[in-house]
Amino acid sequence: MEIIDNLLITDECDVAFVQDIIAETAESIRDMTIRGAGRIARAGADALGRFAGEYSGNDLAAFREDLSRATKTILDSRPTAVSLWNGVHSTILGVDGASSVDEARELIIRNSREFCDRSEKAVETIARIGAKRIEDGDSVMTHCNSSAALGVIKEAHRQGKEFRVFATESRPWRQGILTVTELAEAGVDVTMIIDSAVRYVMNDIDEVFVGADTITSHGAVINKIGTSQLALAAHEARTNFFVCGETYKFSPMTMFGDMVAIEERETSEVVRPGEIPDSVKIFNPVFDSTPAQYIDAIITEVGMIPPTAVYSIMVRQLGDAVFYKE
């Protein structure tokens, strides 16, 4: 046996493959080469699907052990991302009932493909629904780099609507640069603003569209730090605030009282070494929580819903799939 990045790999398994697919995928999520809740979820599901596709052993017990360790490695790469949790567990759902390695492999491969397909189609559906809220002459604001929120904006532009977009810089990673580049290349009239200019600009904004990393059972949204400030400024300005999120971003754990952990990242993302005195502390949270009362609607692939509907949608739409036992 060989241990690679917390993975215990049996001799029958292709060690190089696991290192390339599982460990590298996990590292790409950790270092934010792969970013965005939907992209992270699809990457995790796809990695496990390819893991199963290349697995060459015949011992079912060994396969389950290797799969468990591979799953843990992927999940540990972004422990606060419920999209990753749901994507991974949707991919391995039913494996415990498999009677052979081949059956388990086929199940995982099929689940992985189905999840990725559903995820991509969900973004397309959200785009069509959300685009209806943008009208000619509107001013729209977005934050960070949400594929779902950008899908709405690009769909409205594709439909021939003329409007302008204000995108936040989104420090410290400055994901706003990715956003404005993508929108500009699509032909959208876009302006990037510094994060602290949100309230200054908000009175001229008609709609705000943001993404979501996690949506709790009571309708609160966990998203890129600064999202709650946009929501508060929008509420003050009587501007519609829309969250664009696929239902697999609903967190089943919050139904049972679990809190959503807010990830903190390295201080080096904020200041360079030696730039400030060593005695100064840096607080660098990745996400914040936007209360349901500041959200006008959550745009999902099953429709535009009020935050209060999340619980019932979670139970009806996701069912037992989100209650997968560790």
Catalytic residue among 213, 258, 288, 296: 213
212, 248 contact by CB (below 8 A): no
Catalytic residue among 13, 116, 144, 244: 144
Instruction: Tell whether the model's pLDDT for residue 23 goes beyond 50.
Output: yes
Instruction: Tell whether the model's pLDDT for residue 18 goes beyond 70.
Output: no
- The ranges assigned to domains in the chain are 2-122, 132-323
pLDDT band at residue 314 under the 50/70/90 scheme: confident
pTM of the model as a whole: 0.86
pLDDT band at residue 227 under the 50/70/90 scheme: very high
What are the pLDDT digits (tens) for 150-162? 999 999 999 999 9
Query: Which residues, including other chains, have CB under 8 Å from residue 201's CB and lie 6 or more apart?
Result: 141, 166, 193
* CB burial of residue 256 (10 Å; 0-12, 13-18, 19+): exposed
Averaged pLDDT, 296-304: 97
CATH top-level class of 2-122: mainly alpha
What are the pLDDT digits (tens) for 62-98? 999 999 999 999 999 988 789 999 999 999 999 999 9
Determine the Cα–Cα distance for residues 69 and 118; give it in Å rounded to an integer: 26
| Beta pairing partners, 243 | 210, 298
Dihedral angle computed from the Cα positions of residues 143, 147, 149 and 152, in that order, rounded to the nearest 10 degrees? 140
Averaged pLDDT, 185-199: 98
Dihedral angle computed from the Cα positions of residues 276, 277, 278 and 281, in that order, rounded to the nearest 10 degrees? -70
Averaged pLDDT, 211-240: 97
**DSSP one-letter string for 50-105:** HHHHH-----HHHHHHHHHHHHHHHHHTSTT-HHHHHHHHHHHTTGGG-SSHHHHH
Q: Which residue has the tokens 């959208």?
A: 188
Determine the Cα–Cα distance for residues 155 and 274; give it in Å rounded to an integer: 45
From residue 215, alpha-carbon distances to 157, 288, 291, 292, 316 in Å are 27, 12, 10, 10, 16
Instruction: Tell whether the model's pLDDT for residue 15 goes beyond 90.
Output: no
Instruction: Tell whether the model's pLDDT for residue 114 goes beyond 90.
Output: yes
Q: Which residue has the tokens 């021939």?
A: 160
> Could you give phi then psi for residue 90, rounded to 5 degrees?
-65, -35
Give the three-class secondary structure for 113: helix
230, 143 contact by CB (below 8 A): yes
pLDDT of residue 36: 86
What are the pLDDT digits (tens) for 128-144? 999 999 999 999 999 99
Q: What is the largest CA-CA distance in the chain?
A: 63
- 80 token code pair: 């606060």
Domain 132-323: CATH superfamily, name plus number: Translation initiation factor eif-2b; domain 2 (3.40.50.10470)
Omega before residue 79 within 30° of 0, cis: no
pLDDT of residue 4: 39
Q: Which residue has the tokens 């100064």?
A: 280
Instruction: Tell whether the model's pLDDT for residue 316 goes beyond 60.
Output: yes
Determine the Cα–Cα distance for residues 131 and 48; give it in Å rounded to an integer: 34
Decide if 144 is catalytic: yes
Determine the Cα–Cα distance for residues 275 and 322; give it in Å rounded to an integer: 45
What is the amino acid identity at position 119? Answer: S
pLDDT of residue 79: 81
Euclidean distance between the first and the last CA atom of the chain, given in angstroms as a whole number: 24
243, 211 contact by CB (below 8 A): yes
pLDDT-above-90 percentage for the chain: 82
The CA-based angle 279-282-286, given to 5 degrees, is 170
pLDDT band at residue 16 under the 50/70/90 scheme: low
Examine domains 2-122 and 132-323 and report if their fold is the same: no
> What is the residue-averaged pLDDT of the chain?
91
